[in-house]
Amino acid sequence: MDKKVPGEEIIVVDNVFKTFPGGICALSDFSMRVRRKEVLVVIGPSGSGKSTFLRCLNGLEEVDKGSITIDGIPLNDDKRNRFEIRKEVGMVFQSFNLFPHLTVLENLNLAQILVRKKSRKEATDFSMALLNKVGIPEKANIFPNHLSGGQQQRVAIARALAMMPKVMLFDEATSALDPEMTGEVLAVMKQLAREGMTMVVVTHEMGFAREVSDRMVFMEGGRLIEEGPAEQFFTKPKEERTKLFLSQVL
């Protein structure tokens, strides 16, 4: 893989706190920077706050304290900012969340037409190009429930890409899939990484993390425990807690 050069900081997270009702602390004084074209992989035990971190980045969760800025736009109470950020940040969910009452093509076209104000023709052309890219152009006119899990997730990735986002978030995108389907979804994600997409990935796939990530982050209890380049992170972790976790998952 040609090593791309990360650009300027596109995601700036400063001292974020997030506590859920019931007192569960998901993020505690959490700060993070992500550069353009960087692939950041976040790992950690369940309940460590990694998904919450991801969901805060496009405003699906509101932070209690601290600031988040995406590509220069602060994520705050201003609804227009939130709307702008969501246009530029694509998200892929563990449970796909495709729209079951729309065909694959309509799933991809919807936001292009409603949000990007493209014509149906333009949207369809781009959608078909994306379906080709994720390898299932023949499924364009099928309803999502008739697809396998791996195919659904590839459609979900294509749907997020249809908005031409600057950043892609992957929230355990392969956790609901069996190993064979995991492979096909990871292949698409690897291709995206190679093309220079800025990605923040929460995953349990350590092989994928090692191969694709520019930087690894290990979280626990809503805090950053350790971060570093993938090679160093996997071979010579500094923190005891990281070593223990890696010994369990590798």
Partner 1 sequence: MKASSIKVGRLSKRSPIVDIAAFLLVVAGLTWITGTGTATLGYNWQWYRVPQYLLTYEEGRWLAGPLIDGLMVTFEITGASLILAFSFGLISALCRLSDSYLARMIARGYLELIRNTPLLVQLFFIYFVMAPIFDLSRFASAVLALSLFEGAYASEIFRAGIVSIHKGQWEAAHSLGLSTFDTYRRIILPQAIRRILPPLTSQAISLVKDSALVSTIAVYDLTMRGREIISETFLAFEIWFTIAAVYLVVTVSLSLVVSIMERRFGDAG
The token pair that represents 187 in the structure block: 């292949």
Stretch that binds partner 1, among 26-34, 98-106, 123-131, 218-226 (CB under 8 A): 98-106
Instruction: Based on the shown chain and the rule CB under 8 A, indicate whether residue 222 belongs to the binding site for partner 1.
Output: no
Instruction: Based on the shown chain and the rule CB under 8 A, indicate whether residue 131 belongs to the binding site for partner 1.
Output: no
Q: Which residues pair with 13 in a beta bridge?
A: 32, 68
If the CB atoms of residues 163 and 246 are measured against partner 1, the closer one turns out to be 163
If the CB atoms of residues 100 and 229 are measured against partner 1, the closer one turns out to be 100
**Which of 44, 144, 150, 222 contacts partner 1 by CB under 8 A?**
144
Vertex 145: Cα angle to 142 and 148 (nearest 5): 90
Subset of residues 47 to 86 that bind partner 1, contact rule: CB under 8 A: 58-60, 83, 86
- Minimal distance in Å, beta carbon 156 to partner 1? 8
Tell me the CA end-to-end span of the chain in Å, nearest whole number: 23
If the CB atoms of residues 55 and 215 are measured against partner 1, the closer one turns out to be 55
- Residues across the chain: 250
Instruction: Based on the shown chain and the rule CB under 8 A, indicate whether residue 101 belongs to the binding site for partner 1.
Output: yes
- DSSP strand E in 21-74: where? 24-35, 39-43, 65-70, 73-74
Q: CA 250, CA 210: separation in Å to the nearest integer?
A: 11
Distance of CA 34 to the CA centre of its chain: 13
**Which of 89, 123, 157, 201 contacts partner 1 by CB under 8 A?**
89
Q: CA 12, CA 57: separation in Å to the nearest integer?
A: 9
Binding residues (CB under 8 A) for partner 1: these are 58-60, 83, 86-87, 89-91, 93, 95, 97-102, 110-111, 114-115, 143-145, 156, 159-160, 163
